[in-house]
Amino acid sequence: MTGGAEFAKLRRTSAAADAVRALQEMIVDGRLVPGQRLPPERELSELLGISRPTLRETIRSLVSMNILESRHGAGTFVASLDTAALLEPLQFVMALNERTMDELFEARLVLEPALAALAAERAGAEQVAALRAALDDPDPLVADVRLHALLAEVAGNALLAAMLQTLATLGRSSRARTAQRPGVLEGTAADHAAIVAAVEARDPAAARAAMTDHLSRIARAARLSNTVHIPGGGP
């Protein structure tokens, strides 16, 4: 059974690459959804108009990208498409590429001060209270992630919030290492308090400046420790 999805036959040139793109497009436009089982190999190869060896190559590629998952004895399924899982292969590439990490720091410095300024413009009393509650979390790393996620939520722009989530996921593995540098946690706590105070004061310029100072300080600490952090914020 195809689950209602219509599979178009592919050209034979670059068939594996075409098949990868075709299946990705079917997921993007909703013809295939997370958890859905793909047709059996013979049927799917016929539906796509490619050989079974080419189909196996296609599936291996998509499994390696965490887009599909193979379950022994059950078949091949569309994966959960969780952001963190999809970005895992890129995290490894970034760990090897210092220039890419520097560029991600630049991206944070473009994105997050703007989110902080929007939060200062749009925050209500309950949202400010939630930001202050995040500051009080006994786990500084949990407080870090929660605060930056809340700022993105308060900013009220779903697209910018999604972009921040991507950056946060890409730098997740380095957070704890950066936090081990002397003074980083204390400095981050002070930075966060300044950001929240600016939001509470409804001062977009101050919120933007406080976030810029915070990210610049963390970038310097990360480079000194020869590690880079692009989390949802903080150490």
Listed residue (137, 133, 76, 109) closest to 209, CA to CA: 109
What is the reported pLDDT for 145?
Answer: 85
Convert the pLDDT of each residue in 9-37 to its tens digit.
Answer: 655 557 888 889 899 999 988 999 999 99
Mean pLDDT of 59-70: 90
Mean pLDDT of 120-144: 92
- Taking the CA atoms of residue 129, residue 130, residue 136 and residue 142 in that order, the dihedral angle to the nearest 10 degrees is -170
Taking each continuous run of H as one helix and of E as one strand, the counts in the chain are 11, 2
Angstrom distance (rounded) from CA 35 to CA 165: 22
Angstrom distance (rounded) from CA 95 to CA 227: 9
More confident residue, 217 or 212: 212
What is the reported pLDDT for 232?
Answer: 46
What is the reported pLDDT for 109?
Answer: 92
**pTM value?**
0.64
With a CB cutoff of 8 Å and minimum separation 6, the contacts of 145 are: 168, 231, 232, 233, 234
- From 28-32, 54-58, 92-96, 204-208, the region with the lowest mean pLDDT: 92-96
What is the reported pLDDT for 77?
Answer: 95
What is the reported pLDDT for 227?
Answer: 47
Angstrom distance (rounded) from CA 33 to CA 87: 18
Phi, psi of 69, deg, nearest 5: -135, 135
Tokens linked to 167: 């950056």
More confident residue, 2 or 21: 21
Q: What is the distance between the terminal CA atoms of the chain, rounded to a whole angstrom?
A: 49
